[in-house]
Structure 1
């Protein structure tokens, strides 16, 4: 899966999460949980996303990797419940442009949520310039939900 060259030229690179701002269907901001994250797009049609909570009560500081005896499973479960990592193929819907469209993350090759492996995670996108930053907004409205998930990313580095 190769991204169309013009779209790959815009998306390919490393992006850092600026914020996640969920809104209701009228655009009114909802409660935000602070996260950090990176997402990488390759022009060859692959992607990788990693997100983690920054809330101290969701990040036990006593953990080491690999896990050592005496580290409670409940602490590891808390970390797992508040992180998201996945990688796989990436493509766009045919009507997508360099400024907006629909990204398809998948089929996913790896995911820390086992039920996501082999699935497609579809995200709408919009690319804008804000001063000297290129900003990528990914958003999704899950069926049956009254919330739109918005993730805003700033491009850190293009891939050469």
Structure 2
């Protein structure tokens, strides 16, 4: 029997976002991703039981270059709306779902209760994320997916730093 600590240790690290595919569960029809075809982002799991995720579109029409942080009164509201609509960040504790058979290569994470998020309604939620780990050519890939409201979102990550 694999210990939970061994599974967490195997999964910890920082992963770079490769892609996100969203499709209808009932018929497999793919719909456009919120982040487009070449999104950017990082996902980190620590050995201390915390995680953070940052995802953003790289589609130029969704990433206005005429705004900077901090926002200014003269900024176009629509530009900030685009940034908000095509990016997501959240962080908090994570655990393995003990009601699922977890291994070093597949199982289910529980993200939360989420402590901070760019979408306020996510704060204090706990969200289930299925995972599957594969290795190819010495690289580690993490496929994380969730199903909600008839849609399945599959997100592929590549480990860039081992935890």
TM-score by length of 1: 0.90
Q: Which residue number in structure 1 is paired with residue 125 of structure 2?
A: 119
Q: Provide the rounded CA distance (Å) in 1 between the counterparts of 2:128 and 2:26.
A: 21
Q: Which residue number in structure 1 is paired with residue 51 of structure 2?
A: 47
RMSD: 1.8
The unaligned stretches of length 5 or more in structure 2 are: none
TM-score by length of 2: 0.88
Number of aligned pairs?
155
Q: CA deviation at 1:19?
A: 1.0
Q: Provide the rounded CA distance (Å) in 2 between the counterparts of 1:135 and 1:104.
A: 19
Q: CA deviation at 1:31?
A: 3.8
Cα pair 1:21 1:29 within 8 Å, conserved: no
2:112 is paired with a residue whose SS is strand
1:91 is paired with a residue whose SS is strand
Which of 102-111 and 63-72 deviates more?
Answer: 63-72
Q: Which residue number in structure 2 is paired with residue 18 of structure 1?
A: 18
